Each structure stands twice: as C-alpha cells, then as structure tokens.
Structure 1
Amino acid sequence: MARPVWSGVITFGLVTVPVQLFAAVQDHAVHFHQLQRGTGDRVRNRRVNERTGKRVDYDDIVKGYDAGDGRHVVVEQDELDGIAPGRSQVIEVRGFVELDEVEPAFFSGTYYLAPRSDEYGRVYRLLRTALAETGKAGVATFVMHGREYLVVLRAGDDVLELHTLHWADEIRDPRRDLPRLPGRERPGSKELDSARQLIDAMTTRWRPEDFEDTYEKKVRQLVEAKRDGEETARAEEPPEATNVVDLEDALRRSVERAGSRREPARTSGAPSRSGSGSGPRSGSPDGARLLSDLSKRDLYERAADEDVQGRSRMNRQQLIRALSDRHRTRTAS
C-alpha cells in the first residue's frame, strides 16, 4: 500500500476537499553501494565540521545562505515554516486552463491525489468528473517539504492527478542558451515529403507497456554475469551521423523499411480490437453503458478505428463523448 507524502486540502472557489498526495511512480533503477577499490569495504558519507573535522549531529545542523566573503545568514527551519503556515496545508486552485496549453518543458513530476477519508469522496468525485467533462486542468500552488510548487490538477481515469511544474523563470530559452541551432529556412520539398512519409509509416498507438528500460536490464545482466564469473559483451557503437548528401536516400530506405514492418491493414470484415461484434456498440440502447465499461486504452483504440481527431489529448470521458457523437452523426446521415 502506497504511503502519502503530503496531506492537506484542495480549494477551488469556496469548495474545500481534504486530500492526501501519493507518488505516482516508483524507481526501478539498479542501486549500488560505494566500496573502496581493492578492499570491498563500504564507503560512508558523514557530516563533519569543515574546520575541526569532527562529526556533527543532524539536530545541530542549520541552513545557511551564502552572503559572500565567507559569511552566512543562518535560517532556522521554524522560521521557514512560519512564513507560510497555512499554505503548507493548502493546494490553492487559481484558475482552469486547457491542458495542452501547458508546454511539455514545464512538467516535472506526477502524483496521485486521494480523498483523506470516505466522507470526502463525493466532493472529490465532483471535482474529478467536472475536470474530465470540461477537459480543463486546474492551475494551483502549494508548499511541500519546504518548497512552493506550481502544479496542474487533471482528471485521470478514476483519480485526480497532480503534475508539478517548473516556474517560468526556470525554463531556459533555447535560442539564447544553446550553443547552436539551425536557421529557420524551410527544408527542400522532396526531403520534407519523405520525412512526412516516414513519420506516417512509423505512426503507431501509444502503448507504454511496449517499451522497457533496456539499459537497466543490461545492468542487471552485467551484475548477474559478474556474480557467476561469466564474460560480458560490450554494446555496439552508436551509428554514424547521416551524410547530408545521402539524406534523401536514407529517408527513402527508411520509409520502405518502416512500411514493411507495419501490421497489415484490417479488412472491412475483420473484428474490432475493442471486442467482437456480438456485444452492444455505442449506438445500441446499451451502447453508452458499454462504452463506460471500457478502459481508456480500449476507448482510445476504438477512437483510432473511428479516426476520431484529437484523441491523443482526450481523457476517458472525452473519448466516450466523442465516440457517442461519432455514432450519432453516422446514424443521422
């Protein structure tokens, strides 16, 4: 069972929802201890006084801001807690925006929100459903572990999600900060057409479970091989950069290779991935109920079958509405 990392309330307007915050991800990385080469002895990090070299207890450590010339401004933790006592318990929604307005560079971390107890489930469900049906995200701020965060709240399938964001002044300007970027002249039309064809040929559905962290897998294999006294093979070197002269040929061959790997198109009589034709569809009397029983992944696949535009940005409720509207339009025509 996950443990909460923060507890407080969400406020929007005059409505308050007591909630708990949970990490949405868990680390799967291989972790190593630090050892002294040749001895195998553990290496430990200790807090020591820089001047005396003596160990310092954790309770005797305070924060110090470097004021220059070797001087520090000492700040106690209770002083930091005292400047925002109420805000450390409140996720204050300032407004609502379209989620796709938030540039990906701003996103930092993801958390789940749950009602603090069953009695708050109704208000929690109201906020989640309203966000799902409007397609909006709440922009909010709150304080956690001594830091203030800018966040967005959005509706997941059955849960409220909280995404921490970077502040605007933390986002670097690539034109100013990167050493080089190409100019804005438009590529040649033939090369651009080939690049578009390659993107079309490689377009697929978003299935995160189809991907794995191959580096961590190889790290584990390395550890196991060394433990068993086996030899390990080095990875292949990265491919060389594409020569500008060969660019068009490389694009053409890439399109051909990607096209040969695509799954054959489904014939008109083939069954849908979302289920056989025996069950009620969205247009039958039980259609709405059936759609509401499907997972978001199944709804997305059905939306792909129906060529619903903008489906990649839709949440579960929006997919249900779009599929229902598509069937009503088709029936009316």
Structure 2
Amino acid sequence: MARAIWTGSLSFGLVNVPVGLFSATQEHEVRFHQFESGTSSRIRYKRVNQDTGEEVDYDDIVKGAEVDEGKYVMLTAEELAAVEPGKSRTIDISDFVEASEIDPIYYQKAYYLAPTDDTAKKPYALLARAMEKADRIGIATFVMRDKQYLAAIRPKDGVLILETMYFADEVRDPKKELENLPGRTSSRGKDITMALNLIDALSASWNPKNYRDTYTERVEQLVKAKKKDRVVVTEGDAEEAGEKAVDLLAALQASLERSKDHRPGNTHNLGKLETRKREITDVDLGDLSKADLIGLAKELDIRGRSKMKTDELREAIEGVRNESSRAKSRRAG
C-alpha cells in the first residue's frame, strides 16, 4: 500500500476531516547513473564546505537567505517552523469555484486525499458528494515541506483529488517574456475555413490510453540492444525548424488530405514501421546495391546509415529484421 507523504486535516467550514496526501502520478523515465568516461567508476556527490573542502554532516547544515550580495542570514528549522501559517497541518478550503474559471497553466501536480481512519470516512464522503452535486472545485492553502501551497480540490468517482497550484505572481506574463508574438493579423477566410476543417478532421474523444511515452520506450530498447550488442532502430533525423518556407494554404490542404486516415493518439506511426519491417523479411540483401541498402535503412530509420559501408548496412538491416522476427515469434507464442 502507498504511504502518505503528508497527514493533517481537510477543513471545510467548521468540519475537519483527518486526511492523508498520496501521490496520484508516477513518471516512468529511465534512470541513469553517472560514470567517469572509459571506466565503470560511479560519480558520487558530497556536501562539502567550499572554504575547507571538508564534508559536512547533514545535521550540521542550516539554510541561509541572501540579503545583500554575498551576505546571508542563517535560519534554523525551528525558526522557519515558527513563522509557518497557523494550522500548518490543515488544508483550509476558503472558496469554491467553477472548474472552467481556472486556467490549466496554474496546475502543478496531482495528489489523492484519503481519510486516515474510520471516523473520517463519513465527513469525507459527504464533502465529495456535495462537491460533485455542486459541480465546484475547492480552493485551499496548506503547508508541506517548508513551503505553502495553493491547491485545487475536486471530486472524482468518490475520491478527492488535490492539485497543487502556482500563485498568481509565479505565472509569467507572456507579453513580457516572449518576443515576436503576432499582433492582430488578418487572415483570409479560406485559410480559416481550411484550418477549421483540419481541426475537425483531427478531433477525437479524449482517451489517455491512446498516448504513450515512445521516447522512454525507445531508450529502454536502446539499453536492451546495447546489453546484447545489437543494432538499434531509431527515429529519423529531426528536420530543422524554419528550413523551408511553405505556402500556408498549400500546407493546410496537404495536411487535410493526410488527415483522412487519422487515428487518435501518437503511436500509429510505430505500427507502420513494424509493417515495413515484416515486408523486408524475405528480401535478399546480397542482391541490393549500396544505394538500395541506404534507401532501405532510411525506411527503417537506422541512424548513421550514410556513414556505413555496404557490409555494415547489410548487417544493420539484418539485425532489424531478425529482431522483428523474434518479436513476431514471441507474440505468436
């Protein structure tokens, strides 16, 4: 079972519900360690005194706030705790608002709220049901890990979800931060109509299962391939932004034509690549010229193909289709 990363009370008027805060999401990135190049020696980091070079124990470290250039005031954990807002173990709902009024840019990270004991279940369920019926989101503040958070609390299927939020002064003004933003430009009616048609053709119902972290998957494939000393199939080289100037209307028309086979999600191109791998299974690579091999390697997105010799190209392509055959056998088994 998951362990609460924070415990306290959810305050709703004069009602206090004992709750725990649990992470609602988890990232699935590949984690790397650092090594000195050419060795298997791990790189380690230590907390050291910059003047003496000696390592400092964690318990002997205090926080310092810079007040002038090169000048600091030191603050202990006890001093910081003393200035925390009152009821620091309370998530205090102060307002209820409509979800549509909140710009998503303010949201940070999602957590689940759960009652910590049996006595909290009834008021917890009451609050969740009332918020569902009212169709409102609770806005609250609370302190966690020496930081005050603004939070939005919403019900979903009987569970209260807390999303930490940025305060207003933490969201940057794009007009002050970004250059070359377009002004109010006039667009041709035909351009707008074509763009609307393209949006309509690419529209779909939201389903998070349609989308995968294909980059992490390919990194995992790379790790497995390197472990077995095999060739790695990679994405094609990215086109440089601004490489070509294109006619907007022509681009919209071409995009609309391509959208006829649109399927929701970001993984349908992976299926096309697998299909092409299967198609080349019976090709006799010995009968192909180097130019043909480079063309085939390009279709299979084999990186570094332009620098490979003829035998290296054959070996790389053979490695790809062997891997495809093994994957097919595993699926069949």
**TM value normalised by structure 2:** 0.76
2:307: which partner in 1? Answer: none
Query: Contact 1:201/1:262 (CA < 8 Å) preserved in 2?
Result: no
**Correspondence for 1:2:** 2
- Root mean square deviation, CA, Å: 1.7
Query: One-letter code of the match for 1:19?
Result: V
Who is 1:232 aligned against? Answer: 232
Mapped partners of 1:155, 1:139: distance in 2: 13
Q: For 1:48-91, what per-residue CA distance to the aligned partner results, in whole angstroms no more than 9, with x for missing partners?
A: 01000001000000001112242210000011112227432000
Q: Tell me the distance in 2 between the aligned counterparts of 1:130 and 1:169.
A: 31
Matches of 2:187 and 2:43 in 1, distance apart? 54
Partner of 2:16: 16
Q: Following TM superposition, by how much is the alpha carbon of 1:27 offset from its aligned partner in structure 2, in angstroms?
A: 1.9
The one-letter amino acid of 1:39's match is T
Q: Deviations over 1:175-231 (max 9, x none)?
A: 111122111223211011001001111110111011100110011111111111112
**AA at the equivalent of 1:18:** P
Q: 1:215 to 1:245 in 2, by over 3 A?
A: closer
Q: Displacement of 1:237 after TM fit? A: 2.4
Worse-superposed segment, 183-192 or 145-154: 183-192
Which shifted more, 83-92 or 132-141? 83-92
The 1:158–1:98 alpha-carbon spacing in structure 2 relative to 1, beyond 3 Å, is: same
Report Cα offsets for 1:157-185 as digits up to 9, x if no partner: 12100010001001111111112211122
Q: Which amino acid aligns with 2:14?
A: L
Which segments of structure 1 move beyond 6 Å, counting only runs of 4 or more?
Answer: none
CA distance in 2, matches of 1:242, 1:42: 41
When normalised by structure 1's length, the TM-score is: 0.76
Deviation at 1:14, TM superposition (A): 1.1
Alpha-carbon displacement from aligned partner over 1:313-332 (angstroms, at most 9, x marks no partner): xxxxxxxxxxxxxxxxxxxx
Deviations 1:285-331 (A, max 9, x none): xxxxxxxxxxxxxxxxxxxxxxxxxxxxxxxxxxxxxxxxxxxxxxx
Amino acid at match of 2:73: V
Q: Write the letter of the residue equivalent to 2:193.
A: D
Q: Say if 1:154 and 1:161, in contact at 8 Å, map to a contact too.
A: yes
- Equivalent residue number for residue 168 of structure 1: 168
Letter of the structure 2 residue corresponding to residue 252 of structure 1: Q
TM-fit CA distance, 1:243: 5.7
Map 1:115-126 onto structure 2 (within 5 A). 115-126=115-126
Match of 2:178 in 1: 178
> 1:145 offset after TM fit, Å?
0.4
Which residue of structure 2 lines up, in the alignment, with residue 159 of structure 1?
Answer: 159
Contact 1:11 1:17 in 2 (8 A): yes
**1:238 Cα deviation (Å)?**
2.7
Counterpart amino acid of residue 261 in structure 1:
H
For residues 122-179 of structure 1, the C-alpha deviation after alignment (integer angstroms, 9 at most, x for no partner) is: 1001111111111100010000000000001101112100010001001111111112
After superposition, give the CA deviation of every residue in 1:18-63 in whole Å (9 maximum; x if it has no partner): 1000000012110011111111101101000100000100000000
| Alpha-carbon separation, structure 2, partners of 1:55 and 1:189 | 68
The alignment status of 1:149 with 2:125, answered yes or no, reads no
Letter in 2 for 1:92: D
What is the aligned partner in structure 2 of residue 255 from structure 1? 256
Percentage of matched positions with identical amino acids: 43
Provide the rounded CA distance (Å) in 2 between the counterparts of 1:76 and 1:104. 36
* Structure 1 counterpart of 2:208: 208
State the number of aligned residues. 263
Residue 242 of structure 1, CA deviation: 8.6
- CA shift, 1:12, in A, is 1.6
Contact 1:35 1:42 in 2 (8 A): yes
Q: Structure 1: which 5+ residue stretches go unaligned?
A: 264-333
CA distance in 1 between partners of 2:173 and 2:68 (Å):
29
- Unaligned stretches of 5+ in structure 2? 265-333
User: Any residues of structure 2 matched to 1:223-302 within 5 Å, and which?
Assistant: 223-239=223-239, 241=242, 245-261=246-262
> Radius of gyration: which is bigger?
2
Q: Decide whether the 8 Å contact of 1:10 with 1:90 is kept in 2.
A: yes
1:192–1:241 Cα change, 3 Å: farther
1:94 paired with 2:94, answer yes
